[in-house]
Amino acid sequence: MAVSGLVMASVPATPVYILTIRCRDAVGIVAAVATTLAAADAFITESSHFGDPDTGLFFMRTVFHAHASARALSRSEYRDLLEPVRRRFGMQLELHDSAERMRVVLAVSRHSHCLNHLLHRWHSDELPIDVAAVFSNHDDLRRTVEWYGVPFHYVPATTPAAKPAQEQALRDLIVASEAGLLVLARYMQVLSPALCADLDGACINIHHSFLPSFKGAKPYHQAHDRGVKLVGATAHFVTPDLDEGPIIEQDIVRVDHAHDAEAFVRLGKDVENVVLARAVQWHAERRVFRNGQRTVVFRH
């Protein structure tokens, strides 16, 4: 049922579509969508929806393909069929062919673990993305990236004055790559508010603490000073408020008094890897919705 790379392999030639919807909650939404799809002989293989009583918003994700006995319609044909429903409920509606992978730019500084993990999983056909390019303010990880056949863009900025040009280079790369997602895989530069705003919902960061604890720099050292018994990592959408963006995923690992701050760093890496990879996978599979300062995630 998963629309992951692994499973894709065994899916027949019939295209599989992912429909996502966001609108105000109301009676009849599911009925209208399901009836439209059923009338087109579409077979639903996975569907989740959620109405948030706090915000009054409704979120839905449905995966379907043409039934074996039916004619497979094109994306635009399905889109046209759904248009009356979209209008009726004022929906933000997207329809994706699951075979068209989200194009992604990864940004990294010197810590290689998240980059290595994402590239390996992508290379093993386990992350349904296309890695278009890697951007870095250091040249350290060029060999790793190029081994995977991915272009490596090294743009340092050793003075504050050089920052705007560096960020412009990142913007240009995202545009030139036709990327729909920027992943900050331990990228130790703060993006400008303008770029954060422009990438709203299209930029995921991994913060190496259990947010909202230990925002800012050196979170493992802050955690050690506070004497916590678990350390965590948080993948979140980037917003202009540093480390305040909507949380997509979090996890933790146990520590004790015998672990110094360096051990926290080491143990935390496994958690960062897993948390960031999950967030990227779910986002690429269109499972993640912003819901104000929170997210709706139809996990898998």
Residues 31-70 that bind a copy of itself (CB under 8 A): 31-32, 34-35, 37-39, 41-54, 67
Does residue number 11 form part of the binding site for a copy of itself (CB under 8 A)? Answer: no
Q: Is the separation of the CB atoms in 183 and 105 below 8 Å?
A: yes
Closest by Cα among 262, 204, 201 to 231: 262
Q: Which of residues 73, 79, 109, 112 is near a copy of itself by CB under 8 A?
A: 112
Parallel, antiparallel, or unpaired: how do β-strands 230-237 and 247-254 relate? Answer: antiparallel
Size of the site for a copy of itself (CB under 8 A): 80
CB of 159 to a copy of itself, least distance (A): 29
Q: What is the closest distance, in whole angstroms, from the C-beta atom of residue 100 to a copy of itself in the complex?
A: 21
Other CB atoms within a 10 A radius of the CB of residue 3 amount to 22
* Interacting positions 144-183 with a copy of itself (CB under 8 A): 147
Q: Please list every residue from 121 through 150 that binds a copy of itself, using CB under 8 A.
A: 124, 126, 143, 147
The Cα 248–Cα 234 span in angstroms is: 8
Bridge-based pairing of strands 230-237 and 203-207 is antiparallel
Is 217 a binding residue for a copy of itself by CB under 8 A? The answer is: no
Contacting residue, 134, 199, 211, 276, with a copy of itself by CB under 8 A: 211
Residues whose CB is less than 8 angstroms from the CB of residue 175 and which lie 6 or more positions away in sequence, other chains included? none
Tokens representing residue 277 in the block? 């990879």
d(CA 27, CA 89): 10
Between 161 and 256, CB nearer to a copy of itself:
256
Distance of closest approach, residue 216 Cβ to a copy of itself, in angstroms: 13
Build a one-symbol-per-residue string for 262-281: x at contacts with a copy of itself by CB under 8 A, - elsewhere.
Answer: xx-xx--xx--xx--x----
Look at the alpha carbons of 180, 117, 194, 293 in this order and tell me if their dihedral is positive or negative. positive
Query: How many beta carbons lie within 10 A of that of residue 164, not counting itself?
Result: 11
* Contact pick of 93, 122, 249, 268 for a copy of itself (by CB under 8 A): 249
Is residue 88 within the footprint of a copy of itself (CB under 8 A)?
no
Cβ-based nearer residue to a copy of itself, 9 or 161: 9
Find all residues with CB under 8 Å of 262, minimum gap 6, and list them. Answer: none
Per CB under 8 A, the list member of 247, 276, 280, 284 interacting with a copy of itself is 247
